[in-house]
């Protein structure tokens, strides 16, 4: 919710609005109506709105032009593994990391490497396609100057800000829940830790 609100405010004066039909058309056109990650035909696949930098506390991506693509549902799901890692070892961002699983740097059991093997069986082709798609996405992002200008500042400040916000929200929720539990009547049918710790009568 915080990232959505921040996205709305940051991109208020930008020439292209991410939720406009024109933006989706532009994205589809740029990638030839194929998935930017696996190159499958989007006419034949289930499509989803995809955030290059995922909208979570580790990736702190925004819902703004330059960070939003249309991808196939499979890639969107597979990419979540990288997006949910606190520290990435293959690349500085989740989407780049996702495309770096070319089968040479990860343990043999890596699920993302297996995914790419299932898409392109031939190793040489796989490496080439992953590199090409990485470059295509980088080039796509570079065509949004407002986004490019905002990105370094956001990358520097957002992770720390979000970590603090999550901690504050958690602390607030915990104290509210404690208050709620304490204000319930004694007859309320639930069993909490306080009851469990009481010695048997
Ligand atoms: Zn895909
Ligand atoms: Zn891998």
Q: Looking at the CA of 116, name the nearest ligand.
A: 2
Encoded tokens for 159: 């992770």
Name the percent of the chain lying above pLDDT 70.
94
Q: Which of 71, 67, 64, 85 is nearest to 31 (CA)?
A: 71
Q: Looking at the CA of 115, name the nearest ligand.
A: 2
**CA torsion through residues 27, 154, 90, 79, sign:** negative
As a dihedral over the C-alpha atoms of residue 23, residue 100, residue 94, residue 114, rounded to 10 degrees, the angle is 100
Q: How far is the CA of 42 from the centre of ligand 2 (A)?
A: 25
Give this complex's ipTM.
0.98
- Whether the predicted pLDDT of 30 surpasses 60: yes
| pLDDT: which is higher, 164 or 106 | 106
- Whether the predicted pLDDT of 192 surpasses 90: no
Q: Looking at the CA of 74, name the nearest ligand.
A: 1
Rounded to whole angstroms, the Cα distance separating 125 from 94 reads 22
**CA torsion through residues 181, 182, 188, 193, sign:** positive
From the number of C-beta atoms within 10 Å of its C-beta (0-12, 13-18, 19+), residue 140 rates as middle
| pLDDT: which is higher, 161 or 16 | 16
Residue 126 CA: distances (Å) to CA of 39, 88, 112, 114, 162? 12, 21, 13, 11, 36
* pLDDT, position 199: 53
Q: Please provide the DSSP assignment of 77-145 as one string.
A: HHHHHHHT-SS-SS-SSHHHHHHT-SSSSS-TT-HHHHHHHHH--SHHHHHHHHHHHHHHHHHHHTT-H
Q: How far is the CA of 53 from the centre of ligand 2 (A)?
A: 18
Which residue ranges form the domains of the chain, and what is each CATH number?
A: 2-86+134-155 (1.10.30)
Q: Looking at the CA of 75, name the nearest ligand.
A: 1
Residues 165-186: tens digit of each pLDDT: 777 888 888 888 888 888 888 7
CB within 8 Å of 71: residues ≥ 6 apart: 35, 36, 37, 47, 48, 50
Residues 123-146: tens digit of each pLDDT: 999 999 999 999 999 999 999 999
Residues less than 5 Å from ion ligand 1, measured at CB = 35, 37-38, 72, 75
């Amino acid at each position: 919710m915080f990232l959505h609100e921040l996205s709305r405010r940051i991109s208020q004066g930008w020439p292209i609005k991410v939720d406009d039909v024109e933006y989706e058309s532009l994205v589809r056109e740029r990638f030839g109506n194929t998935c930017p990650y696996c190159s499958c035909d989007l006419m034949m696949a289930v499509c989803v709105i995809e955030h290059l930098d995922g909208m979570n506390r580790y990736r702190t991506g925004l819902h703004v032009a330059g960070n939003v693509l249309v991808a196939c549902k499979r890639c969107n799901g597979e990419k979540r593994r990288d997006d949910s890692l606190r520290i990435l070892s293959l690349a500085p961002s989740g989407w780049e990391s996702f495309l770096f699983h070319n089968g040479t740097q990860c343990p043999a059991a890596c699920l993302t490497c297996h995914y790419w093997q299932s898409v392109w069986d031939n190793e040489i082709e796989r490496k080439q396609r992953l590199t090409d798609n990485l470059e295509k996405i980088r080039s796509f992002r570079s065509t949004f100057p407002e986004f490019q200008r905002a990105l370094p500042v956001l990358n520097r400040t957002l992770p720390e800000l979000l970590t603090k916000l999550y901690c504050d929200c958690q602390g607030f929720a915990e104290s509210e829940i404690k208050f709620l539990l304490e204000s319930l009547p004694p007859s309320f049918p639930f069993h909490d830790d306080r009851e469990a710790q009481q010695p048997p009568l």
